Structure 1
Amino acid sequence: MVPLVCRDCLKETPPRTPDARGAPPACPACGSPRLVSHPELDQLAIAHIDCDAFFAAVEKRDNPALRDKPVIVGGTGGRGVVSTACYIARIHGVRSAMPMFQARKLCPEAVVLPPDMARYKAVSRQLRAKMEALTPLVEPLSIDEAFLDLTGTERLHGASPARVLMRLAREVEAELGITISVGLSYNKFLAKLASDMDKPRGFSVIGRADARDVLAPLPVSRIWGVGLATQARLARHGIRLIRDIQTLPLDQLLRAAGEDGMRLRRLALGEDNRPVTPSRERKSLSSETTLATDVSDRAVLERHLREAADTVARQLRAEKLAAASVVVKLKTAAFQTITRSRRLARPTQTARDLLDIALPLLATEADGRRFRLVGLGVTLCPPPEEAPDLGFDFGAPADDRRLKLESALDQVRARFGGKVIGLSTPAPRDPAGRKPERRG
């Protein structure tokens, strides 16, 4: 018989059945119903940790008056989208990436807040430090989720990975004021799948013996990398559930899925040999603005591009990164996305250098068409002093002066606030008050 482990007091109890009223068993030591049992619980070491409604959770933590209210974090303008919705708002049907006007209709009583990325990143760093104290094998996926490999850490922590993760979840809730859901398995694909199975404050386990049975009834969309186009292609061949991929003769699967067929078969059978990789190098930064109304005026588009350049350049300097190329992104009124890019002659951290490339790229597209979004992004390389062999031409005095001037402005902003005027003329606020969205 497999014992139950209490996620709140971490004590074991013999297997128990629901009482006469059908209530689930509770921990005899602390009364908690949050009990976990799995035959392989103490044999698994790959975990996926996902913060529950992270942005909204931080907002509720910092403002207790919001605790019992539906909270939506995202763009507050007419064309904003939902970044995060708390679980109360989700009951009303609000979901991430939903247009904000639709979210407001579904939940008119919701408190809608703009994102505060500085606060969210600070909490993310605290959580990362806690994870890295458990194992050096932490692979961040985003600001609020990561894989962990705790293989071989039993002696260090005096407990199995499962119990260490339970302790971590309890500490995060008590010390950081947010909650996490944990998925535990023997590979990354299944660990991430498990973390979605019991949210919020969840702890789900998928073992080797039950992996195929757990996967079989799920839609193919639950397989990593299967988007809408792949779903439609598979559906044309009658493949809608993961069990279809498990049982279909391989030659038929390859005809349906092409060269991706073997990968789909392996994942459908619960096989994934990707290691947990601690270093996930950041590839790009960007800032973009969804405009309140469609704009064709090139001068207005330029002002928004200048503000995006200021935003990206400040982030480059703050994170000690440098840009290798510049990307201008536009979205037309008809939702066509246009990107234009050009490599820089040398790495930079200044808005002026970014605009030297970006403004001519914009000029080629600002031909009278109306645009609903404008943004600027960069691909990254290390700062010049850390990358002497990249083949760039370093050391131009003009660039040094630009960097010193913009760095001095950073210090002024830090002292007097973010509204200090930068080198680039700030874009006018949209009528709906929309601010640029920062991406990374």
Structure 2
Amino acid sequence: MPALCRDCLHAAEDGFARCPSCGSRRVVTHEDLFALSVAHVDCDAFYASVEKRDRPELLTRPVIVGGGKRGVVAACCYIARTRGVRSAMPMFKALSACPDAVVIKPDMAKYVTEGRRIRAMMEALTPLVQPLSIDEAVLDLSGTQALHGAPPALVLARFAAAVEREVGVTVSIGLAANRLMAKLAAERDKPRGFAVIGADEAAAWLAPQPVSLLPGVGPAMAKRLQAAGFSTLGQLGTLSPRDAAARFGEDGPALAARARGEDSRRVDPSRETKSVSAETTFETDMTTQAALEAPLWRLCEKLARRLKDKDLAAAGVTLKLKTAAFAIRTRAARLAQPTTLPDVLFAAARPLLAREADGTAFRLIGIGAQPLAPADQADRGDLADPEAPKRAARWAAVESLRARFGEGAVVRGRGLPKPPRG
């Protein structure tokens, strides 16, 4: 059976439990090891790993990346995870579970920089790289063996070693015949993992697993499936397309197919970003429009920056609010023309906020751009708004000053924090 040592990268068609070259037991063996070409790459606890890389004294400490007692966990290291901490968990619950954790405020600029470094390393392996997030992507290495002089499995093992050596973080890799199974394989052996699931074993491997294992099946859907008598993926996978549609609607046949490990999606490097957003959680609840407008303005500035980074523009805005009781409200509006300017985003979001600021206590506010448009269509100006190009020039000048002298170099009055009033 084919085998690969993940430490010295020794590979052979005849399997081995211990590497004959270096003695390592970090060995991957699978009959399809050198034939599969779809890979899911996921950085391990990325934000926390970057922070530990930069602060080696934290290597053996539980680390949580997040903000404020009322914020949520953006990421946590595996030590913190053993104490029950999870991403998106409220900070007060995380600190209750792990009171000795070191809490670090997120440094998104640093994480984006490191994520782009890793992305560039992926793109050196194959042009078929589809980013899924800042630290996660799916790759198709079909047809690259002649280019690299090695099968995809060995190329991926070299890549993992290079990321660890050059960037200072670890990745987990799932190798399979399609995107779904590659993702599940990557989650099977974290951290610093390399797992393989062949096409012929996918259905059997999935059969005893709970329906909640399937990506896209959240708690509500899992509860619905279980109520219908489907607690395992094997049970769900027995449904014919007709029965699946009758029970679960138009998405039913695809759901049953995925329960069998079937996935026809291709790796698409040109996959369009559907939305860009920014949000913040308050230290104390806010109830008035005046109090909410300052953080909303700052988020509009952040959103404008993110749109520019992605070479996109907003053709509409979506306001998000979360109440003190954790209920989410969203309101949307279309724009007369696409924009990348924070004042236009703010002007569109402000009336949406006014309708929701009814005395309700809010713990979070967010602003998103959706639908999106190409950046070259933004802020061109017309008879109804001839000043748009001038505003775009002013905003570019502000960003230039901030790039040279820091974020505090130019601050709009509406972005200054206001004394709490409710």
User: In the alignment, what sits opposite 2:140?
Assistant: 149
> What 5-or-longer segments of structure 2 have no aligned partner?
none
Q: Which of residues 17, 25, 30 in structure 1 aligns to 2:22?
A: 30
Give how far 1:129 is off: 0.8
Correspondence 1:415 to 2:407: no
Structure 2 residue matching 1:58: 3-state secondary structure? helix
| Paired residue type of 2:45 | A
1:55, distance to aligned residue in structure 2 (A): 0.4
Secondary structure of the equivalent of 1:152?
coil
1:406 aligns with 395
Name the SS for the 1:182 alignment partner.
strand
Residue 59 (structure 2) aligned to one of 61, 67, 80: 67
Q: What is the alpha-carbon distance in structure 1 between the residues aligned to residue 58 and residue 115 of structure 2?
A: 21
The answer to whether 1:87 aligns with 2:108 is: no
CA 221–163 in structure 1, closer or farther in 2 if over 3 Å, else same: same
1:186 equivalent to 2:174? Answer: no
Which sections of structure 1, spanning at least 5 residues, go unmatched? 17-24, 432-440
- TM superposition shift of 1:386: 8.0
Relative to structure 1, the CA distance from residue 67 to residue 430 in structure 2 (aligned partners, 3 Å threshold; closer, same or farther) is farther
- C-alpha change, 1:361 and 1:248, in structure 2 (3 Å) is closer
Amino acid paired to 2:143: G
Match runs of 1:111-260 below 5 Å: 111-247=102-238, 253-260=244-251
1:319 deviation in Å? 3.9
CA apart distance, 1:429? 8.0
Shift of 1:251: 6.0
- Match of 1:72, SS state, is strand
**3-state secondary structure, aligned to 1:42:** coil
Taking structure 1 as the reference length, the TM-score comes to 0.89
**Residues 30-71 of structure 1, C-alpha deviation per residue, up to 9 Å, x if partnerless?**
122100100011110000000000001111111111111111
Give the structure 2 partner of residue 361 of structure 1. Answer: 352
- If asked which structure has higher relative contact order (CA below 8 Å, sep 6+), I would say 1
Aligned amino acid, residue 124 of structure 1: G
> Could you tell me whether the CA contact under 8 Å between 1:347 and 1:384 is conserved in 2?
no
Q: How many correspondences in the alignment?
A: 418
- The answer for the alignment partner of 2:415 in structure 1 is 426
> How far off is 1:288 after superposition?
1.9
Of the candidates 319, 333, 350, which is equivalent to residue 342 of structure 1? 333
Per the alignment, residue 38 of structure 2 pairs with: 46
What is the distance in 1 between the residues matched to 2:331 and 2:293?
15
Tell me by how many angstroms 1:217 deviates.
1.4
SS at match of 2:320: strand
Alpha-carbon distance, 1:395 to partner? 9.2
Cα contact 2:288–2:358 (8 A) shared by 1: no
Contact persistence 1:317–1:407 (CA under 8 A): no
Alpha-carbon separation, structure 2, partners of 1:195 and 1:429:
46
- How much does 1:285 deviate? 2.1
CA–CA distance in structure 2, aligned partners of residues 386 and 333 of structure 1: 36
Aligned-pair identity in percent equals 51
For 1:187, give the aligned amino acid.
N
- Identify which of 270, 278, 303 aligns with 2:261: 270
Structure 2 residue aligned with 1:306: 297
Q: Which whole-Å CA distance do the structure 2 matches of 1:333 and 1:355 have between them?
A: 23
Residue type of the alignment partner of 2:407: G
Q: Which moved more, 1:403-412 or 1:393-402?
A: 393-402
**3-state secondary structure, aligned to 1:283:** coil
Aligned to 2:285: 294
**Is the Cα–Cα contact under 8 Å of residues 51 and 144 in structure 1 kept in the other structure?**
yes
Paired amino acid for 2:55 = N
SS at 1:339 equivalent: strand
Compare 365-374 and 28-37 and name the one that shifted more: 365-374
Are the aligned partners of 2:238 and 2:256 in contact in 1 as well (CA < 8 Å)?
Answer: no
Residues 317-368 of structure 1: per-residue CA shift (max 9 Å, x gap) = 3443222112222222333322222111122221221222222222222222
The answer to whether the Cα contact below 8 Å between 2:304 and 2:340 also exists between their aligned partners in 1 is: yes
Assess if the C-alpha contact under 8 Å between 1:331 and 1:338 holds in 2.
yes
Question: What TM-score does the superposition give when structure 2 sets the normalisation length?
Answer: 0.93
Output the CA distance in 2 between the equivalents of 1:322 and 1:418: 22
- 1: distance between equivalents of 2:204 and 2:93? 37
Query: Which SS does the other structure have where 1:354 is aligned?
Result: helix
